[in-house]
Structure 1
């Protein structure tokens, strides 16, 4: 496969650079906040808020309804279309906030924990704040103004993190965690309004509504199902196993998802509008997509390998000995992360080519498999749930790749062959790093062991990629030399 065209490549690199900078800043700050709050609050308190966040995340999916994606996807977009999307999001966001507030007693009864009701009412404020800024964020993505989105995200992360830690320090307990997403949503909206030049007009076009519902309807259906496929394990644990187990599992899942969130969402934020422009040129679409997929595998495969090898050390260093029960869960979930690193880019194909109906139909099948997996896994505790989730992730990976690759005229076999170099190189490094960890386990303190194993793994991976002449690494070196020469 050839590289994307120079023009598209520059757009992608520039967009990823801004997104990476903002995402790296927000993720590092979030990790810092998580480390502090894990020492100020208990696993049970994290579990209590985690029970609510399962439902609030679902409500957030409902509040968007695929409107933002439809604004990015549509080729000919007028200001009336944009304003229509804005007012529609306001109405839906307000309705979801009111509904979530009213359902607070029901959520508390579902878990048989009365203390969840006031926490749920606090978190319900999030959706109205988010709705006010979603249109500006979608326009920023459509027009490749990732600097605006990034600045707003960094401001929101810092403000909500400082607020959460301050409240926890002064004894607000679990309420500090409940207020964090509210502060984040409100701050992001204020920042994006200050930064973005677009302002709504009093327009509401029926034709725009029709397109948004046609495109966003199936996309919303898929997103809703996909949400529960990613969070149903938390619901099962919270209901069947309790707040402590959910707190441990939630910390492990958050750490596993950190590389995916940091790398995957960065690239996806850029690739969706780029691929949407190429929807009528399948050859260019395929070349651009496969190159991005290989780049993601080159970065995420070894990162997930590091999480697998050092799961216990990472948990202890970040959260303390009280959280060590999350370590075996994290090791299993790192395998989920490896599989999801090649599955989430598949969504770009479905959405950029307008195949949201087919994506929704696939989600229905995967939802049935997920329910069966969770029903079996919950009988064996949180490790059983994690193992069942990993088995489901493997099935999901094969099904998604098989169907989506057909739309860009690429077989499943050829797709896997494109990923084979990074998989083989990462596998060798994981094996060598695990052998080194076992050898040093009783000889060094946790921090020193972690630093030595990480340094060895990075060096070994780079050497292997140089020896095998990994194309992605050599392209990165070429881009770096070109940038240095131009500078």
Structure 2
């Protein structure tokens, strides 16, 4: 199978895994939101930053180092596995001991027990890192899809059953733990692997040399992605965290899911052609445009239908999250562009620039937080959207230095798609909301009109891009 066919197959199965799994989990979250309310989501949201940071430590950039390395040995995989498990156990021990202090910080004693149970997620996930890396190197996303779908189905069933029987926030905890544990188990069953070599100092030095900068970058990025729940929980209330968390999930989960699909396929793909400068630049630019083609209208569309969607699906108890959804969509639509830019830095082996970029961007985030927190949660959401566009300028500047694609050239290639996405959804929103006050009619009407307008604009101005997209999803045998 040639590289293009591998990429198309990988994209298909990666899409099936991430889209189906995340769609299932998002539906479950919406069902649970109706059953257990904003406070339960707020409690879990307050703990999210500590779990996420631990998981970054567990990976430590080693999986990216393995994927990038052309000639991985069994010693490399075994060394990474030993490191992952050791760090996972250490992180869990720290979380267990620190749980009362974290609960005291929020002044909510119930968080102690919640964190000590939820922290097991870190240990479970450590056992799937190597399997995922090996399968990604082989671009075998079909096996990963089977494991994820089965895990999502089992965990979702248990969570809904627990919520129905009055377990409240513990339904969310169970959903996360079962998902992680089952995923590791199924990957081990479908793609059996166990370390066969001893710990290798040479392998560790290589992976840590590359991965350490990604580790620092990941820690900074993860901290700032989750710091909003921490700050809102401290400055406001658990309910406010719940509103923000739900808005964040409705917008970020689809954006992050589609971005992950693209990123997981393009990283090994671009790594294969890292020494062919012209081909690499062409593939990179086309990836940017194809990602924007799909994700821009989808994420902006969520903002356009936020009002009827939340009223119909979540109910009146969640209406305070509507403006947050609308604002966050404007920023999160750029997630795939950020991710693909950062992929290039890793493909080029510039994990030092990766770290430098994170420090610069998070400095901007810090300033934005200082300005917006005193103004309320809505102002925080506006700040998130603004900093996303500032980050775009920073990312494209640095990738422009490593390729022949200047920031202006990159932005020019995605700007028309950005305009079409915003314009088609804005016109649909304005038109339908002036015709009917029925939430169900607003939901359906906005979707139909927005899709029709967007497709019309693409046919008129971006026919070549439509052809490229068609070729990708239906590659020729040649």
TM-score range, shorter chain: over 0.9
Q: Which moved more, 1:464-473 or 1:378-387?
A: 464-473
Aligned residue pairs, count? 477
Shift of 1:117: 0.2
Is 1:458 matched up with 2:451?
yes
Match of residue 358 from structure 1: 353
Is 1:283 matched up with 2:285?
no
* CA RMSD, 1 decimal: 1.6
Provide Cα deviations, 1:391-441, integer angstroms capped at 9, x if missing partner. 22221111111112221121011111111231232233123212213312x
Match of residue 116 from structure 1: 111
Q: Secondary structure at the match of 1:75?
A: coil
Match of residue 298 from structure 1: 293
CA distance in 2, matches of 1:317, 1:310: 11
Is 1:88 matched up with 2:83?
yes
Is 1:198 matched up with 2:209?
no
Shift of 1:480: 6.1
Match of residue 250 from structure 1: 245
5+ residue gaps, structure 2? none
Q: Secondary structure at the match of 2:109?
A: coil
Match of residue 468 from structure 2: 475
Q: Secondary structure at the match of 1:258?
A: helix
CA distance in 2, matches of 1:390, 1:302: 16
CA distance in 1, matches of 2:472, 2:93: 50
Match of residue 101 from structure 2: 106
CA distance in 2, matches of 1:350, 1:97: 31
Query: Could you state the TM-score of these two structures normalised by the residue count of structure 1?
Result: 0.95
Any conservation in 2 of the 1:340–1:397 contact (CA below 8 Å)?
A: no
Shift of 1:261: 2.1
2:441 aligned residue (441, 448, 454):
448
CA distance in 1, matches of 2:470, 2:126: 41
Shift of 1:448: 1.8
Shift of 1:478: 4.6
Is 1:214 matched up with 2:215?
no
Shift of 1:265: 0.5
2:9 aligned residue (5, 14, 23):
14
CA distance in 2, matches of 1:480, 1:12: 10
5+ residue gaps, structure 1? 1-5
Q: Which moved more, 1:228-237 or 1:83-92?
A: 228-237
Is 1:127 matched up with 2:130?
no
Match of residue 389 from structure 1: 384
Counterparts in 2 of 1:469 and 1:67: CA distance versus 1, 3 Å: closer
Q: Hey, which bits of structure 1, 4+ residues long, moved more than 4 A? A: 478-483
Where do 1:120-269 residues align within 5 Å? 120-269=115-264
Any conservation in 2 of the 1:86–1:135 contact (CA below 8 Å)?
A: yes
